[in-house]
Structure 1
């Protein structure tokens, strides 16, 4: 089972964000972030979502320890593809396959 506090600290440090910076971004006290990371405080799903947004990771990505975070270029492609029809996605997939 994932330790939420440790995971927050791990991601935060990998992005060179201090606990104080994270706290300022989501509007809580730095001691609250430290408390979560040390296992002394619990955070709501809403707070965790805010933390993930600040750390530029999805909630799903937060809980997937073994899956690497997508590169920004791939995130853009995924975001753009959400507005496409299934037929448009199929055409793009076929085009990409020709580039292999």
Structure 2
């Protein structure tokens, strides 16, 4: 898994800029940028801080495949707050759109 790529995807899915996530994570913007670009790997403590800023657990960080496009990740993040009935309605709408 590419940790930096995963962080970038989750950051984008949460509509956060690098500077915003860095501030929420209590790390410097250049350091976060280096992580996202694969120039460095975060310590477990730093990764935990990043996950907390993204409102996810370390388990959730590692469970989703990182090859999903950022817009699909954003869709999934938004869907988490829906009720079961609302998710079913969205699924029905998507199936209707696909014909």
Instruction: Give the shorter-chain TM-score range.
Output: 0.5 to 0.7
1:71 has 2:84 as partner? no
The aligned length equals 72
- Which of 1 and 2 has higher RCO (CA within 8 Å, sep 6+)? 2
Query: Which residues in structure 2 correspond to 1:1-16 (within 5 Å)?
Result: 2-16=1-15
Question: Deviation string for 1:11-45 (max 9, x for gaps)?
Answer: 00000011100111122211100000000012100
Quote the residue 1:85 is aligned against: none
The structure with the larger Rg is 1
Provide the TM-score with structure 1 as the length reference: 0.64
CA RMSD of aligned residues (A): 1.9
SS in 1 for 2:31: helix
Q: CA deviation at 1:54?
A: 0.4
**Structure 1: gaps spanning 5 or more residues:** 75-100
TM-score of the superposed pair, with normalisation by structure 2: 0.65
- Looking at structure 1, the residues matched to 7 and 25 of structure 2 have their Cα atoms a distance apart, in angstroms, of 13
2:24 pairs with 1:25: yes
**Separation (CA, whole Å) in 2 of partners of 1:61 and 1:16:** 18
Runs of 4+ aligned residues of structure 1 deviating over 6 Å after TM superposition are none
- 5 Å-filtered alignment, 1:30-49, equals 30-49=29-48
Rounded Cα–Cα distance in structure 1 between residues aligned with 2:81 and 2:44: 25
Q: Distance in 2 between the 1:72 and 1:49 partners?
A: 22
